[in-house]
Structure 1
Amino acid sequence: MIFVGIDISKLSFNVAVLIDSKYQSRQFENKQSGFLKLSQWIKSFKNPAYFCLEATGIYGLALAKHLYQTNQKVIVANPLQTHAFAKMEMARNKTDKADAMSIARYCQYLFNRGEIDKSLFIPRSAAFERVQFLVTRLDQLSKMKSQENNRSGVSLDKAAARSIGSMLAFIDKQIMVIKKEIAMIIKQDEQLTVQLKLLVSINGIGDKTAWALLAYIGDISLFENSKQISSYAGLNPSIDQSGTSLNRSSLSKTGSTRLSKSLYMPAIVAVRYNPLMLAFYNKLLTKGKPKKVALIAVMRKLLVLAYGVLKSRKPFDVNYQH
């Protein structure tokens, strides 16, 4: 048995093969020709293989699908779990090659615990993948719109102002096209339709936020509990403590920025219209927490609720805890 750890980046990926407690390493281009070269190299070992890479969004998706389609056993692991494993090993080196070796050892660790086969990667539906790409595009267009709006306020030239106006109109049109496309895709997919209804049952979460949650959370089975998904979004508190002195508590700087940003406006809406969130927000203010800290806590609470309804497959009930 060999264990193949893969560290993915945009243009290339590093591979470490763990066999008989020794490593062999190579780097390949992150495209179809690189995938084929990887497959040929692995065949030369003439041993059954388990592949493991981290869930890093679109950069690793094509490779994971290629391995699945060629009947390879591949695990797309939660980065939080692979990083925790590296810390447990007290790994000191932080390079692409060292990361690939650590992922290979994590793969072997799952195998030795008898947990690897239940973690095997199965591609999501084509509809889900389209939603992921289109939600990302929607974010890009929204960012472009904000940039053009900022320019419109400082432009003194009429021709430049007309250009900005035309660009804003074009962006608005594209945003409408993308929104209609996402809505249509979800409407035509039974599973996505059910998940959307579960998410919008939470007061403060509308269609757009639900789309973002579906896209950026990805496979809900990658998260064993709500703490893991909070960490994944970077909404878990990080405590700076030395001895008996507690210096400060702040947000973790790791995580999915897009996922956390998608919860900001819903949190503002939730503290107005969701009784549970309003009570939670006011409780924190009463304890002396700054408004920004309380709002971030509401963002985290919303994410936990979203995780709960998706995991349980039951809509949000504001009276449940009572």
Structure 2
Amino acid sequence: MKIKYVVGIDISKDKFDVAFVLSQLDKTPKVIASRKFDNSKKGHLEFKDWCLKKQKEDLPVEFVMEATGVYHEKLAWFLSDNEVPVSIVLPNRAKAYMKSLGIKTKNDKVDAKGLAFMGACQSLAKWKPISKAFYTLRELTRFLEDLQKDRTSMVSRLKGLKHKAIVSEKVMEGLKAVIEGLDEQIRICEQEIALAVAKDPELKKRIGHMMSIKGVGLLTAVTVAAETNGFALIENERQLVSYAGYDVRQNQSGSREGKTSITKKGNAHIRRIMFMAAFNMVTYEQGQFKPFYERIHNRTKQSMKGYVAVQSKLLRIMYALWKNETDFDNNYGLRDKSNQSKNQLKTVVAA
């Protein structure tokens, strides 16, 4: 373990706590200083100056923060723009590390210290923003999701209104106008998503790899890419499954075997878009997904478990296509255009 400074950052909407730690060879990391800053442009500049003053030796400085909704993003971009190494860890990984240290107290200051110790003791991957287009795409896909939910709600209300004993024509006209307005906004939003992808050649290429799976449309591929920031925080399939909330919760004690279920402690936007993709693939018998669904359904006697299994499998395949920059072959599994990692990719499909 090399001698270096590590700065742990626990961030929230308005503030972020910082622990400035010295990592030494074969010694417990030492906290040099700690402080709280405003999560604003002014606070970020003050944080930068403060770190420079604390760096009294000619040692490298690394920054570690937790992925906290969207609140960490501005500071992460600020650090990246200043060309300093920053690592962003998933919440479940940070929590597991804190638990391994036996730390029971939980507050912002303690969490910042824990993140700093994590960076000092582990070799963390450095965060590399792939494209600012992902942030625009995520806003667009989430806005589209809200529009679709609102439209479904208005359509249901309109249908219910028609069955009432006394129908208000004004209300009916108003609902129809709202639905028409939502349809127009949905159309505009879909156009903006397609345009954003078309403007970024690298993104367009990788989205195309995921869409090579027959049944995966533009919106499904873009939503998955945007919600994972181009899989930038994902190191393996297991992590991806956990991030999306498809990891299984065991319910077993002694000889008792209870029902198992997915945790759903993950990105709900991914699960929502993957449900429709999986449903369509099973319904229209695309590739290997219908037989796979039937095997799960026959074993568990629960159709939803079959669909969830298809969702998880499909998501893992999309991840492999993105990472390996290859297309999907419905007849032979995954086909690697560069003829590398072919066996590994086929294993992903067969899993």
Q: Does 1:285 align with 2:294?
A: no
- The aligned runs of 1:225-244 (5 Å cut-off) are 225-244=236-255
Q: Deviations over 1:183-212 (max 9, x none)?
A: 112112111111111111123311111111
SS at match of 1:172: helix
Aligned position for 2:5:
2
Q: Output the CA distance in 2 between the equivalents of 1:173 and 1:139.
A: 14
Aligned position for 1:222:
233
- The aligned runs of 1:43-192 (5 Å cut-off) are 43-47=52-56, 48-110=60-122, 115-116=123-124, 119-154=125-160, 156-192=167-203
Aligned position for 2:25:
none
Q: Does 1:38 align with 2:47?
A: yes
Q: Output the CA distance in 2 between the equivalents of 1:52 and 1:217.
A: 19
Aligned position for 2:336:
none
**Closer, same or farther in 2 for the Cα pair 1:123/1:210, shift >3 Å?**
same
Paired residues, number: 316
Q: Output the CA distance in 2 between the equivalents of 1:309 and 1:185.
A: 21
Q: CA RMSD, aligned part only?
A: 2.2
SS at match of 1:174: helix
**Closer, same or farther in 2 for the Cα pair 1:187/1:219, shift >3 Å?**
closer
Aligned position for 1:298:
310
User: Structure 1: any 5+ residue segments left out of the alignment?
Assistant: none
CA contact (8 A) 1:128 1:192 kept: no
Aligned position for 1:201:
212
Letter in 2 for 1:191: E
CA contact (8 A) 2:130 2:232 kept: no
Q: Output the CA distance in 1 between the equivalents of 2:170 and 2:220.
A: 36
SS at match of 2:8: strand
CA contact (8 A) 1:80 1:228 kept: no
Q: Which has the larger radius of gyration?
A: 2
**Closer, same or farther in 2 for the Cα pair 1:143/1:28, shift >3 Å?**
farther
1:22 to 18, 21, 31: 31
CA contact (8 A) 1:201 1:316 kept: yes
**Closer, same or farther in 2 for the Cα pair 1:23/1:247, shift >3 Å?**
farther
**Closer, same or farther in 2 for the Cα pair 1:91/1:205, shift >3 Å?**
farther
Q: Deviations over 1:212-268 (max 9, x none)?
A: 111112232432221110011001111122234333311113111111111011110
Q: Which runs of 4+ in 1 moved over 6 A?
A: none
SS at match of 1:316: strand
**Closer, same or farther in 2 for the Cα pair 1:65/1:167, shift >3 Å?**
same
Give the TM-score, by structure 2 length. Answer: 0.83
Q: Output the CA distance in 1 between the equivalents of 2:113 and 2:251.
A: 30
Letter in 2 for 1:76: I
Aligned position for 1:263:
274
Letter in 1 for 2:187: M
Moved more, 151-160 or 177-186: 151-160
Q: Deviations over 1:23-50 (max 9, x none)?
A: 6433333221221222232223124421
CA contact (8 A) 2:128 2:232 kept: no
